[in-house]
């Protein structure tokens, strides 16, 4: 750990970000120096107040030029979806970026040359975490290490979304009809195409050949009306399955299946039966030896689904800031917790 604190900007201030602000405020080696907000009603408010703690003397802004002028080591970037136009500007300003949405392996995107140029110009690094909260691909690669031959890898996850904010519930497409979801360009199809970054990453790290990639979406209708944080009428979407695959000659080599549901009482038994039988992540390694293992969080759902994602991003700060300029892959951040 270096002598002076890491200077951090929190970019967007939703539920996960507020948890991050609280962690930063309590840590002697971290200092919050800026907060960028999306909603006008948060502009001019103290970041500590937004996060539900005492004022920190950091006033939130929605002026990009103002926040980019702040002297900081790293930006904790918490967008509802990937937004590389902003990330390029942040990187070029000399600040490293840790994103909880995408940026895991963005080499397949047209924006990749711009990202590389921005990191070179700013001497900065880019790291992606998030997704359950990042353990899915890490456990898959770890599991492959006991094999002397790997044919393919399958990852399944299952998450309840009732603990998420109404903004995310709506953004995922809950409460809409399948016809509407398949006809539009927003909803899950807009958010989760980035899972192909992870399946390609698994192939690259394990050494599996891949020459194609595909993604599919299945929508589960609500078996009854849900009216708590959000209104979901019977027959509209209460469950969602996204299956991303990297293939070689038409054969799946790495598969990540992400299963979301509003709650077990609103989906069919068949939908639940296809989820991991234990915990919330299941990894199957098809190889020699063939094996399967599970991961389970023994905490309240709020901690599992939201705070773990934010904490993992915080723990990555030292490695990402101290890394050479460039892309810091998820597999490069095996390090102890800052809070140990």
CA angle 192, 173, 297 (to 5 degrees): 65
CA angle 168, 328, 94 (to 5 degrees): 85
Note the pLDDT of residue 125. Answer: 98
Note the pLDDT of residue 106. Answer: 94
Identify the band that residue 200 occupies on the pLDDT scale cut at 50, 70 and 90: very high
In this model, does residue 185 exceed pLDDT 80?
no
In this model, does residue 297 exceed pLDDT 90?
no
Note the pLDDT of residue 170. Answer: 80
Please list, residue by residue across 82-117, b when 16 or more beta carbons sit within 10 angstroms of its beta carbon and e when fewer do. bebebbbbbbbbbbbbbbbbbbbbbeebeeeebbbe
Backbone φ and ψ of 217, nearest 5°:
-130, 135
Alpha helices per DSSP H over the chain: 15-26, 47-50, 64-68, 84-92, 112-122, 135-144, 166-172, 178-183, 188-192, 195-206, 269-273, 301-302, 308-315, 317-322
In the chain, the percentage of residues whose pLDDT exceeds 90 is: 71
For the stretch 301-328, pLDDT in tens is 656 556 888 899 999 999 999 999 999 9
In a domain, 262, yes or no: yes
Average pLDDT over residues 212-229: 93
In a domain, 39, yes or no: yes
In this model, does residue 181 exceed pLDDT 90?
no
Q: Give Cα separations from 50 to 15, 24, 177, 249, 295 (angstroms).
A: 10, 14, 34, 51, 33
Residues 6 or more apart whose CB falls under 8 angstroms from that of 272 comprise 261, 264
- 3-state SS assignment for residue 318: helix
Split into its structural domains, the chain has a count of 2
Note the pLDDT of residue 91. Answer: 98
Does one domain contain both 114 and 152?
no
**Tokens representing residue 231 in the block:** 């209104």
Does one domain contain both 283 and 148?
yes
Note the pLDDT of residue 335. Answer: 56
Cβ(190)–Cβ(101) under 8 Å? no
Note the pLDDT of residue 167. Answer: 72
What is the spatial distance between Cα 108 and Cα 231, in angstroms, rounded to a whole number? 37
Does one domain contain both 110 and 22?
yes
Does one domain contain both 52 and 187?
no
In this model, does residue 336 exceed pLDDT 60?
no
Does one domain contain both 150 and 236?
yes
Please list, residue by residue across 168-195, b when 16 or more beta carbons sit within 10 angstroms of its beta carbon and e when fewer do. bbbbbbbbbebeebeeeeebbeebbbbb
Does one domain contain both 160 and 98?
no
Return the number of other C-beta atoms located less than 10 Å from residue 288's C-beta: 12
Helix, strand, coil percentages (3-state) for the chain, rounded to 5, are 35, 25, 40
Average pLDDT of every residue of the chain: 90
Identify the band that residue 334 occupies on the pLDDT scale cut at 50, 70 and 90: low
In a domain, 1, yes or no: no
Domain of residue 124 covers 6-129+316-332
Note the pLDDT of residue 337. Answer: 62
Does one domain contain both 97 and 185?
no
Does one domain contain both 98 and 241?
no
Backbone φ and ψ of 98, nearest 5°:
-115, 115
Does one domain contain both 262 and 197?
yes
In a domain, 151, yes or no: yes
In a domain, 325, yes or no: yes
In a domain, 290, yes or no: yes
Identify the band that residue 257 occupies on the pLDDT scale cut at 50, 70 and 90: very high
**CATH code for the domain of 24:** 3.40.50.720
Note the pLDDT of residue 186. Answer: 63
In a domain, 265, yes or no: yes
Does one domain contain both 183 and 86?
no
Cβ(328)–Cβ(125) under 8 Å? yes
For the stretch 62-121, pLDDT in tens is 999 999 999 999 999 998 888 999 999 999 999 999 999 889 999 989 999 999 999 999
Q: Give Cα separations from 311 to 17, 67, 224 (angstroms).
A: 10, 23, 35
Does one domain contain both 154 and 292?
yes
Identify the band that residue 229 occupies on the pLDDT scale cut at 50, 70 and 90: confident
Note the pLDDT of residue 50. Answer: 97
In the chain, the percentage of residues whose pLDDT exceeds 70 is: 92
Note the pLDDT of residue 1. Answer: 61
Ranking 59-68, 73-82, 160-169, 251-260 by mean pLDDT, the lowest is 160-169
Q: What is the DSSP letter of 263?
A: -
What is the spatial distance between Cα 251 and Cα 289, in angstroms, rounded to a whole number? 20
Average pLDDT over residues 140-146: 91
Average pLDDT over residues 116-130: 96
Does one domain contain both 160 and 290?
yes
Identify the band that residue 294 occupies on the pLDDT scale cut at 50, 70 and 90: very high
Note the pLDDT of residue 131. Answer: 74
Please list, residue by residue across 57-77, b when 16 or more beta carbons sit within 10 angstroms of its beta carbon and e when fewer do. ebebbeeeeebbebebbbbbb
In a domain, 338, yes or no: no
Cβ(128)–Cβ(102) under 8 Å? yes
In this model, does residue 192 exceed pLDDT 90?
no
């Amino acid at each position: 750990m270096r002598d002076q604190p890491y200077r951090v900007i929190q970019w967007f201030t939703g539920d996960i970000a507020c948890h991050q602000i609280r962690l930063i405020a309590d840590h002697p080696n971290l200092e919050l120096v800026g907060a960028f907000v999306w909603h006008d009603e948060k502009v001019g408010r103290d970041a500590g107040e937004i996060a539900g703690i005492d004022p920190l003397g950091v006033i939130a802004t929605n002026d990009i030029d103002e926040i980019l002028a702040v002297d900081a080591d790293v930006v904790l970037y918490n967008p509802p979806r990937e937004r590389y136009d902003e990330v390029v500007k942040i990187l070029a300003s000399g600040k490293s970026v840790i994103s909880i949405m995408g940026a895991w392996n963005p080499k397949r995107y047209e924006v990749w040359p711009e990202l590389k140029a921005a990191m070179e110009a700013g001497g900065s690094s880019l790291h992606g975490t998030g997704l359950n909260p990042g353990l899915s691909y890490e456990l898959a690669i770890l599991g492959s290490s006991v094999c002397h031959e790997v044919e393919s890898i399958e990852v399944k996850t299952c998450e309840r979304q009732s603990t998420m904010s109404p903004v995310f519930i709506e953004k995922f497409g809950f409460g809409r009809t399948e016809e509407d979801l398949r006809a539009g360009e927003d909803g899950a199809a807009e958010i989760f195409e980035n899972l192909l970054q992870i399946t390609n990453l698994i192939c690259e790290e394990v050494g599996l050949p891949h020459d194609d990639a595909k993604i599919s979406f299945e929508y589960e209708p609500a078996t009854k009306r849900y009216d708590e944080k959000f209104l979901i009428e019977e027959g509209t979407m209460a469950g969602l399955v996204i299956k991303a695959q990297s293939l070689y000659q038409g054969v799946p080599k790495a598969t990540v299946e992400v299963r979301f549901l509003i709650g077990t009482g609103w989906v069919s038994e068949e939908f639940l039966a296809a989820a991991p039988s234990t915990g919330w992540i299941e990894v199957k390694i098809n190889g020699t030896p063939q094996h399967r293992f599970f991961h389970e969080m023994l905490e309240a759902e709020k901690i599992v689904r939201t705070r773990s994602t934010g904490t993992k991003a915080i723990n990555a700060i030292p490695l990402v800031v101290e890394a050479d300029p460039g892309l810091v892959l998820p597999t490069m951040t095996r390090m102890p917790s800052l809070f140990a």
